[in-house]
Amino acid sequence: VTGEARLRSAADDAFLADFAELGAFGRTPAGGVDRQAASPADVAQREWFEALLVAHGLRVEYDRIGNQFGCWDRIAGAPYVVVGSHLDSQPTAGRFDGAYGVLAAAHAVFRLMESAEGFRFNVAVVNWFNEEGSRFAPSMMGSAVYTGRLAASDALAVADRTGETVENALARAGFLGTGTGPAMAAAAEIHVEQGRLLENAGTTIGLVTGSWAARKYRVTVVGEQAHSGATVMGDRRDALYGAARVVVAARDLADDYPDRLHTAVGQLEVAPNSPVVVASRVELLLDLRSADVSVLESADDRIRRRIADISQQADVEIELELTHAWDLDDYQAEGVALARRLAEELGLPHQQIRTVAGHDSINLKELAPTVMLFVPSVDGISHNERELTRDDDLLDGLALLTGVVRRLALGDLQASS
């Protein structure tokens, strides 16, 4: 941030070298990555990561949903500070999203292994399975099963578009474990911001206080299949036309709440999706997010009314099903304060921030004190091959994460006992 050259330690160089190696898995020509959950590139990077953890003396285990843990077992029977993120990616993505948090977690533990005096807890590095949800919905699957928010049997039965289930994909890759993973005493995650607030402010560290609220829906538009040339216009019940109007309505909805509501349709499934056929059925996934729950509630109401109008005007049936919802969700304030103190000790500029994107740690904080940190994303670019975080920011984040995990392992956020 200051533009001054930073003094790098051998441990810093080791982190950057490992991160460069990790970035080669599923590399795309444009310099991004494609490593969707349990794809060949994801399997290869998991094998590489297991070897790295084992080489540093960690015990690797997989739970029943394929979460990958590198356990540093020091104290028999003690629960773990669980620190990590996810290595899986969207189909064409950047190499920082998730991957930075997993590798930083591993290197934080490698650093702590040199001195762990007074630790009350063990520490486990984690690579959560299928955070992105692009191949298997829903997102944040591994951490949701770990915390019990999602039943393992439901998650394992989810199929991708080819019909392959999570269970088969994990078993085939050799990552289907049996247990529920190491018990958690506290958790930490570091992630790239995926926005530009830190960059705009010239700040290195985001102290994440909570998440935006979100509502996710599956919208099913049902019309009637017909010849797209011959059928008289007035007779058409075009599901794709109805769906297109829903997409536009979602975008218009955001304009009703400037800067306070994000809306998106990220996926369309058109049937039969044939050149000379009026679509009979379209499924789309609609996503509403806001830092204000009352905005979400009124947006929900408005989109339902608009959909009722569209249904009439396009002569199609439209069903709106809420599939996933979370409210404004705060991290424990003590964790934010702890991270702020440590950032100050390290001389790192910091600010509080709310995450718009979902993260595994949002699930974890329901069960244990959890600290969430951000480092800047250049131009806020995310879920894009051009995603970039500068080396110095990666290293500053790693230094802070190491300090946070140390304090968590010492029991700083546990109610005094």
* Binding site residues, Zn ion, CB under 5 A: 97-98
Could you tell me the smallest distance in angstroms from the CB atom of residue 191 to Zn ion? 6
Q: Are 172 and 179 in contact (CB under 8 A)?
A: no
The CA distance from 319 to 98, in Å, is 34
Could you tell me the smallest distance in angstroms from the CB atom of residue 88 to Zn ion? 9
Structure tokens at 18: 């490992």
Could you tell me the smallest distance in angstroms from the CB atom of residue 192 to Zn ion? 8
| Nearer to Zn ion (CB atom), residue 42 or residue 97 | 97
Could you tell me the smallest distance in angstroms from the CB atom of residue 346 to Zn ion? 24
Burial class (CB in 10 A: 0-12, 13-18, 19+), 49: buried
| Nearer to Zn ion (CB atom), residue 342 or residue 357 | 357
| Nearer to Zn ion (CB atom), residue 207 or residue 372 | 372
Give whole-number Cα distances, 321 to 87, 118, 219, 275, 351, in Å: 30, 50, 6, 29, 37
Q: Which among 210, 211, 309 has a CA at the least distance from the CA of 253?
A: 309
Could you tell me the smallest distance in angstroms from the CB atom of residue 110 to Zn ion? 22
Region class of 287: left (phi > 0), else alpha (psi between -120 and 50), else beta: beta
Could you tell me the smallest distance in angstroms from the CB atom of residue 358 to Zn ion? 8
For 84, phi then psi, to 5°, come to 165, -165
The CA distance from 169 to 174, in Å, is 9
Cα-trace Rg, the chain: 23
Could you tell me the smallest distance in angstroms from the CB atom of residue 236 to Zn ion? 42
| Nearer to Zn ion (CB atom), residue 101 or residue 223 | 101
| CA torsion through residues 143, 187, 10, 376, sign | positive
| Nearer to Zn ion (CB atom), residue 63 or residue 132 | 132
Which residue's C-beta sits nearest to Zn ion?
98
Sheet holding 317-326, edge to edge: 262-271, 281-290, 213-222, 317-326
Residue with tokens 């339902």: 304
| Nearer to Zn ion (CB atom), residue 387 or residue 392 | 387
The pairing of strands 122-127 and 80-85 is: parallel
The CA distance from 11 to 200, in Å, is 29
Q: Which among 178, 176, 280 has a CA at the least distance from the CA of 238?
A: 280
| Nearer to Zn ion (CB atom), residue 310 or residue 375 | 375
| Nearer to Zn ion (CB atom), residue 72 or residue 374 | 374
Could you tell me the smallest distance in angstroms from the CB atom of residue 250 to Zn ion? 23
Could you tell me the smallest distance in angstroms from the CB atom of residue 3 to Zn ion? 28
Give whole-number Cα distances, 347 to 108, 179, 396, 401, in Å: 18, 41, 10, 14
The pairing of strands 370-375 and 184-192 is: parallel
| Nearer to Zn ion (CB atom), residue 130 or residue 280 | 130
The CA distance from 64 to 90, in Å, is 23
Could you tell me the smallest distance in angstroms from the CB atom of residue 97 to Zn ion? 4
Instruction: Decide: helix, strand or coil at residue 407.
Output: helix
| Nearer to Zn ion (CB atom), residue 98 or residue 210 | 98
Structure tokens at 23: 């970035």
